[in-house]
Amino acid sequence: MTHRFLSHASLTALVAELVAAKTRVIAPVRAQDDPEQVDYRPIQKLEDVALGVRLTRGSLKEFFLPPTEVLLYYKQTKEGVDIREVPTEAPPQVILGSTPCDAAALEVVDKVMGWDYRDELWFGRRAASTIVSLLCTAMDSTCFCTATGLSPDSFRGSDALLVPVEDGYLAHVITPKGEALLQKYAEADECMKASAEVAQGEARQKVEKNLAAIPPEFSAWLAANFDNPIWKTIALRCHGCGACAGVCPTCHCFDIVDEHDTADEGVRRRNWDSCQTSKFTLHASGHNPRQSQSERFRQRIQHKFSIYPSRFAEILCTGCGRCTRACPGGMDLPKLLDELMTLAKSEATGSEPKGSSL
Amino acid sequence: MKELQDLARKLLDEGTVKVVIGYEEGARGVRPAFITDAKQAGKLIFDKRCVQNLAAYLNPRRKQVAQLGTPAVVVKGCDARAVAGLIREKQIERDKVVIIAVRCGGVLENSETDSELTSETVSVRCGGCDVREPKLHDYLLGELPPAPPVNNRRVEQIAALEKLSTAERWNFWTEQLSRCIRCHACREACPMCFCVQCTAEKTQPQWIDPSATPRANRAWQTMRVLHQAGRCVDCLECERACPEHIPLGLLARYVADSVERRFDYKACEDPAVAAPMGAYKTDDDEEFIR
Amino acid sequence: MSDEVEHGSDGAWSPKVVAFVCNWCTYTGADLAGTSRLQMAPNVRVIRLTCSSRVNPLFIIKAFERGADGVVVSGCHTGDCHYSTGNYYARRRFAILHDLLEFMGVETNRVTFSWVSASEGNKWQEVVNETTARIKELGPFRTLQGQKGVEL
């Protein structure tokens, strides 16, 4: 890990070179429907980018696991069935200015994508991507990356991390990919490190206020409290709409469907899905083990904060806060986690838990 | 709102209802509240940040709410129309819900802030509201505030779209709907979408492809808004729920205007009035029929 | 029906039109047109239903998705419905669909609604020929078919 200095002019030139070489460059840009909001979109030049303005509404997920993608084409012929799989190599792409929580999410999801079956489409895009994150300074009250073990200056999942300093950025070069991308344009750092460290420290402090670190025992407590009555009331306001899963950088469930216009040819696709929808666990027999939203919401918390950790030693959440921002029903994940962790702690110490404000 | 809190306390203490569905202060603005304990009734509030249409929670598919028992629901006039719709379409029985209506002077477009109500900040659906004093209620609370300012943004957007050529409108909707990820949050948040099996979930035959392709997204949104014709109360929960910020309210408003223009009908608070798509007049316009 | 582009015997593009017709009036009227040997463009594929109110807007959307360049929906004249009131309900449904399609950018000339009675063989001939001519002018509805998000 080294650190260097990247001037604004150099970054502009780097982006121009990438675009000219037909590399897709994705960065935060002001949203068309609401210029106060920011989304990750492909860009043509650095001036299009809105760095460090605000947290993006969506995550990087769509650039690695698209909302819908074709897996294979099939065609019935007289000889049998022709199947053509899609290529797993992806064209190169550079993500510029992602938040550290979004970059880290990719590494967290890598665990399940490489678990019992290697998802070549996911890893193809991972291999083709270089991720340059930016120190996050636009956190708000729903952020809690520090509670999940990350931070606004986390290196996890990034190939390089930029920290705004005078006239440009301190570039932490983290991986060989990061080195390869920046070597032509980054200069030796001359004493920017100190001011970067100040900025990084300030950012961390801002987020730490929002939620205490999730203790390692929390996963086991959740597993032991699967039948706790609190689940019946914790999600009454949840519509089961699945908007949270859509914007979440770590939610990765998908459905597989075959679609065809004629009887003898079509495509097999995978589409984003969410455990919050009523039919997610509907069996062919008609039985649904998760019949009400309280059970489905319990599943969301259990999967992210207990099941995934017990399997992969990772919390399936990076504290980005998008679920809370997107929720039309007013669900508030950091508040909810705080209540659950307090309940867990009071049970451990034997003290009386205060009445739930959920 | 002391009147509201006292009423909630009374209803819960008497056992008339088992839950009062209202609004409370959350960490990020107002959020729906489910008060089952009379001692918590003090949490209930009502002000211009109370945007959500709580009628959605009366939808019988919300098993976890139905399990709590007989509800009371706090409604604005627009929300009361949704409750009327659910009663009209036999999803709930009138005597199985206590309707606490509150006189309303408009709500904010963005309920997370607490700005003054102006023509910029007020919700697009409040202008011209004729149900500020809701008629469907068991209790009617609050003082009647002045009429809300009018936010013309949506009317202007629709007018602008109507001025475009057909091809330009096609491109506009293709672009907007290309963002749709088929999460169906619009459907889940809508109080009137109560079907246990949605038309989009039918697989034998499959009328609407489930994938988020431009073609299928268009079919989905077209069908959803058509199924809402004459039923939609313009609460804009669909637009608020959409994680991709697709302007679904434009479609909802356009179809509602079409229904009003053609059949002289607006979503109303009287469950006895038949909804237009389940009715007809022998002299309905057939100018468009050869 | 595939979304292959068809060509007439002169090599020019030939529109595909799907007609959803009610069994009692329009289908019989179309039959009359046939037995009367009235000359009609061959582009219309007829799908027989019990009543115009059986037509779900999804049929029309699906027809366009799967290769139709135009759609005809036809039933009994109002007051003459075999089921008394079916076409009254249908009329309301079609009115809203007509408005919405226009708002969403589908040329309204691609969808023809008509009332054709069992004795109106001539009218059916006109509907078929006029619709086909109109769709020929508008061109193929490739954009919708091309939006299934698949590179083949």
For chain C, the domains span 17-145
Contacts of B62 in chain A (CB under 8 A): 293
Confidence grade of residue A262 (pLDDT, cut at 50, 70, 90): confident
Please tell me whether residue B179 adopts helix, strand or coil conformation.
coil
Return the domain boundaries, chain A: 2-66+87-208, 217-257+273-349
Query: pLDDT digit string (tens) for A277-292?
Result: 999 999 999 999 999 9
Query: pLDDT digit string (tens) for A50-93?
Result: 998 899 999 999 999 999 999 999 999 999 999 999 999 999 99
Q: Which positions ≥6 away from A287 have C-beta within 8 Å?
A: none
Mean pLDDT of the residues in chain C? 90
Query: pLDDT digit string (tens) for A147-197?
Result: 999 999 999 999 999 999 989 999 999 999 999 999 999 888 777 888 899
Say if strands B139-141 and B98-102 run parallel, antiparallel, or are unpaired. parallel
**Whether the Cβ atoms of residue A318 and residue A250 lie closer than 8 Å to each other:** yes
Q: Which of A141, A241, A272 is opposite residue B28, by nearest beta carbon? A: A141
Segment 139-178 of chain A within 8 Å of chain B by CB: 141-142
Confidence grade of residue C151 (pLDDT, cut at 50, 70, 90): very low
Segment 44-83 of chain A within 8 Å of chain C by CB: 68, 70, 73
pLDDT attached to residue B60: 87
Q: Which of C91, C114, C145 is opposite residue B284, by nearest beta carbon? A: C91
Segment 86-145 of chain A within 8 Å of chain B by CB: 141-142
Confidence grade of residue C3 (pLDDT, cut at 50, 70, 90): low
CA distance C75 to chain A (A): 28
Best B222, B225, B248, B285 residue to mutate vs chain C (most C CBs within 10 Å): B222
Are the beta carbons of A73 and C152 separated by less than 8 Å? yes
Give the residue from chain B lying closest to C57, CA to CA: B223
Q: What's the mean pLDDT in A264-275? A: 95
Q: Which of A241, A332, A334 is opposite residue B189, by nearest beta carbon? A: A241
User: pTM for this structure?
Assistant: 0.92
Return the domain boundaries, chain B: 2-141, 153-273
Q: Strands, DSSP E only, in chain A? A: 2-7, 24-30, 38-42, 68-76, 81-85, 93-98, 129-134, 160-165, 168-173, 187-188, 254-262, 265-272
Q: What's the mean pLDDT in B150-161? A: 94
Are the beta carbons of C147 and B214 separated by less than 8 Å? yes
Whether the ipTM is more than 0.85: the answer is yes
Q: Which positions ≥6 away from B59 have C-beta within 8 Å?
A: B86, B91, B191, B193, B194
| pLDDT at A261 > cutoff 90 | no
CA distance B269 to chain C (A): 22
| pLDDT at C152 > cutoff 50 | no
| pLDDT at C6 > cutoff 90 | no
Task: Name which residue leads in pLDDT, B28 or C148.
Answer: B28
The CATH code belonging to domain C17-145 is: 3.40.50
Are the beta carbons of C113 and B285 separated by less than 8 Å? no
**A81-85: strand order across its sheet:** A81-85, A68-76, A265-272, A254-262
Mean pLDDT of the residues in chain A? 93
How many Cα atoms sit within 13 Å of C151 on the Cβ side?
4
Query: pLDDT digit string (tens) for B33-74?
Result: 999 999 999 999 999 999 999 999 999 889 999 999 999 999
Establish if B30 touches chain A: CB-CB under 8 angstroms.
yes
Are the beta carbons of C106 and B166 separated by less than 8 Å? yes
Establish if A24 touches chain B: CB-CB under 8 angstroms.
no
Q: Please report which helix (H) or strand (E) contains residue C112, including its range.
A: strand C111-115
Query: pLDDT digit string (tens) for A84-122?
Result: 999 999 999 999 999 999 999 999 999 999 999 999 999
Q: How many CB atoms lie within 10 A of CB B288?
A: 16
pLDDT attached to residue B110: 85
Are the beta carbons of B278 and C98 separated by less than 8 Å? no
